[in-house]
Structure 1
Amino acid sequence: MTEPTLRALSAAGLDPAVVERIVRTALVEDLGPDGLDVTSAATIPADLVGTAEVVARAAGVVAGLPVAAAVFDLAAPADRPVELRPRVAEGDRVARGDVLASVTGPVRSLLTAERTALNLLCRMSGVATHTRAWADELAGSDATVLDTRKTTPGLRMLEKYAVRVGGGTNKRMGLYDVAMIKDNHKLAAGGVAAAYRRVRAAFPAVPVQVEVTTTAEAVEAVEAGADFLLCDNMTPEELSEVVLAVGGRAELEATGGLTLEVAAKYAATGVDYLSVGALTHSSPILDIALDLRVPAEPAVRS
């Protein structure tokens, strides 16, 4: 990848090596083991250079332009790179018809990379747009929207990045960075307190979160030492009771079947977070297209 793309990915908090792995896998899906776009190879002169515009077909929030740049980089010959010039910033709201970026380089490369770049850009922008709707709904409260591990396999880093761009907060990245004691763990360990003690003894440096379904469980977990509780499938009235009983001794997350229509009501209970799996498992894409413009120079045929 080019230096500008590497810098943009790093500045966004994205690991360039992980992005490259994701992009190369996606390109193989389109180009096969021989790396060939048969239509473009047959119809477009190798030396034809042109410019395309990345255009929003619907209103939303942009996320993923550095990732799209990585796709164009990796699809182009090393000696004939593609340049993506953003016209908007990550997290900007855009309207239908807005130009998000221009891309200049060999036309074969532009069209070869088009679908892969758009697949990732549309997906990430869709997640950011959905997340922004939640962030807007919670504005003015002390609650923040959280994502979950309900992500598209292989795209977790990109989707969680899009949540951040949209104004949400990332929870744990995986099973390795935060311990989350759920009902099955409590059952196997013999209760909330026993499960918490075992995790803390085995992994003293790892943050521990405990899922609770009643006020009694919440109190038990806090008294065992837990400082983050997942309040699962509780009504606003039940959550208010837990908030009162915990008394600020732990951060509280409402989770389970939450919708935008009830977001404000749950935020008003005093919880710190609303956990929404739909941010990543059910967000529709933001429709974005690539429009090829008049070539920057005439075709050169050998």
Structure 2
Amino acid sequence: MSQAHGIHHITAVAGDPQKNLDFYAGSLGLRLVKKTVNFDDPSVYHLYYGDETGNPGTILTFFPWSHLQQGHPDRGQAIAISFSIPTGSVSFWTNHLEEQGVDYIEPFTRFGKEVIGIQDPDGLHLELIADPVADETDGWNGGPIPGEHAIRGIHGITLAEDDFRPTGELLTEQLGFSEIEREHDRVLYRTENKFGATVEIIDNAQLDGRPGKGTVHHVAFRAKDDEEQSGIRKELLNKGYHVTDVKDRQYFRSVYFHEPGGVLFEIATDEPGFATDETVDELGTTLKLPSWLEERRDLIEADLPKLVMVHG
């Protein structure tokens, strides 16, 4: 059986791109590893944040569509994104969030781990989770957060579903996860990865929201290479899912489908990665365009708002 290897990246919808950059690269201290555009709508940035080199499992990306309505969590949505922080960094982060003027939910325990709840400037629900796996990995020292306390990567995603079972079956049978534990209305799934390794499903979710700014656009799961992606795609087609053809996203190749509850899922290849058109030291410093958009660079750059990197 072909299997994905945890979460590759998560993509969400933002409003103002400068506020988004200030929060994620400043207040949270993630590295901007790629500044490009939405290939299907080049009038909008596509901003990628992650660890020092943009490893799969650490990437959160945004489409800043300023004109969109404000979104709210809904059934059939991914409603919260969690990051892994070292187990000894909870006090650092609560103090840091206070200094940054970021409201937070006092640390609480879920599935045996300390959790700090916050929201980004557009209302997207985020969590910082004290994770023993983060203790085993060095943090990025090039940003505003000391490396010893820096976010290490994506911990996981929370899905809100009418019924957890069909989505749980997809996770366990096609995407390489195992059901680990249940707590109240939540079911925890995990795969054997360092980061991007958990999916939580809220069962019988009583939410009535809408898409827009501050909501998740899609969740991408990892495939090692094109061959593995093709194998997963064939299995999904055989199960009756409507899966797109392969799309070239420059830094990975993607196929898309909707999971049973309605969330847009993606299977993305680990290859080729983000250092194909910039060195590791230069990641995120200039606007990168795919070859088919280069002839429109002047028009695209003129239409995009200027971004200023300011550390928080």
Q: Which has the higher strand share?
A: 2
Kindly indicate whether structure 1 or structure 2 has the higher relative contact order, using CA contacts under 8 Å at least 6 residues apart: 2
Same fold per TM (> 0.5)? no
* TM-score grouping bracket, smaller chain normalisation: under 0.3
